[in-house]
């Protein structure tokens, strides 16, 4: 009896966990032994998923392999094993493709606030993941009041997406060549494209671009 107590004390000291947590796991270990086959299958499925599958997907795999098991049992076992799925970080969409057209200097220097309407517009392409795939949003935002003056949505981050949202912005606002509007973006290929450059120049506006790897400060 003394030896058993000493072993528990030693394990508590080594594990550095609380006494209540230690005895909780000790009490649950027979449950894992009782479900040893399921435990091994869960370990394999979780490892094969590179630690990203939750109990629902693990349960589906077990059922597919012929095991009759309740999702609540899988969840309990995964909690006892401390198997918590890791979330994969989705890469943020980037339209940067190197030097594919004309680049412009950063005229705003991260000072995106404007004193009057139609002094500065900021634009970017944002990717949204939906059930059927992806959607891309191209807004133009006025630095004066953060109002969206024009936007467009498409299933592709195409040149047409940017031109259409720019056209919408111009339809909603009265822009004159003497206004000296600054349109700020990142160095995305669409904004380097001569078609967009010409459209901006046509209304007497000028382009400004943030450095590579920097967001343009819209959000």
172/115 same-domain check: yes
Which of 80, 105, 121 terminates a domain? The answer is 80
62/126 same-domain check: no
3-state secondary structure the chain: CHHHHHHHHHHHHHHCCCHHHHHHHHHHHHHHHHCHHHHHHHHHHHHHCCCCCCHHHHHHHHHHCCCCCCHHHHHHHHHHCCCCCCCCCCCCCCCCCCCCCCCCCCCCCCCCCCCCCCCEEEECCEEEEECCEEEEEEEEEECCCCCEEEEEEECCCCHHHHHHHHHHHHHHCCCCHHHCCEEEECCCHHHHCHHHHHHHHHCCCEEEECCCCCCCCCC
According to DSSP, residue 99 is labeled S
pLDDT at residue 88 greater than cutoff 80: no
pLDDT-derived band at 142 (thresholds 50, 70, 90) equals: very high
67/125 same-domain check: no
Total domains in the chain come to 2
205/134 same-domain check: yes
CATH label of the domain that carries residue 207? 3.30.420.10
How many whole angstroms separate alpha carbon 74 and alpha carbon 118? 58
198/131 same-domain check: yes
CA contacts within 13 A on the Cβ side of 34:
7
Q: Give phi and psi for 40, each to the nearest 5.
A: -65, -40
At residue 126's C-alpha, the angle toward residues 124 and 131, to 5°, is 165
Higher-pLDDT residue of 130, 154: 154
At residue 28's C-alpha, the angle toward residues 27 and 32, to 5°, is 140
Q: Give phi and psi for 82, each to the nearest 5.
A: 60, 45
112/194 same-domain check: yes
pLDDT at residue 178 greater than cutoff 60: yes
- pLDDT value at residue 5: 42
Structure tokens at 191: 């904004």
Highest mean pLDDT (candidates 91-100, 161-170, 202-211): 161-170
For residue 85, tell me if it sits in a domain. no
pLDDT at residue 4 greater than cutoff 50: no
Who contacts 199 (Cβ-Cβ below 8 Å, separation ≥6)? 163, 166
Which of 34, 51, 80 terminates a domain? The answer is 80
pLDDT at residue 195 greater than cutoff 50: yes
Who contacts 160 (Cβ-Cβ below 8 Å, separation ≥6)? 154
- Per the structure, the complete domain to which residue 119 belongs is given by 90-219
Residue 196 · residue 170 · CB < 8 Å: no
196/104 same-domain check: yes
């Amino acid at each position: 009896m003394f030896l058993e107590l000493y072993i528990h004390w030693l394990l508590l000291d080594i594990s550095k966990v609380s006494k209540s947590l230690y005895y909780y796991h000790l009490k649950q270990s027979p449950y894992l032994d009782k479900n040893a086959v399921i435990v091994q299958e869960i370990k394999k499925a979780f490892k094969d998923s590179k630690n990203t599958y939750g109990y629902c997907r693990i349960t589906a795999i077990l059922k597919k392999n012929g095991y009759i098991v309740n999702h609540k049992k899988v969840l309990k076992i995964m909690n006892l094993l401390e198997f918590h799925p890791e979330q994969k970080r989705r890469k943020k969409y980037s339209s940067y493709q190197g030097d594919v057209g004309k680049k412009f200097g950063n005229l705003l220097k991260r000072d995106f606030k404007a004193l009057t309407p139609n002094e500065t517009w900021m634009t970017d392409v944002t990717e949204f993941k939906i059930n059927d795939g992806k959607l891309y949003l191209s807004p133009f935002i006025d630095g004066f009041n953060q109002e969206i003056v024009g936007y467009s949505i498409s299933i592709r981050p195409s040149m047409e997406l940017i031109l259409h949202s720019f056209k919408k912005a111009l339809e909603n606002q009265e822009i004159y060549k003497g206004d000296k509007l600054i349109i700020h973006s990142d160095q995305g290929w669409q904004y380097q494209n001569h078609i967009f450059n010409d459209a901006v120049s046509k209304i007497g506006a000028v382009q400004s671009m943030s450095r590579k790897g920097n967001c343009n400060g819209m959000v």
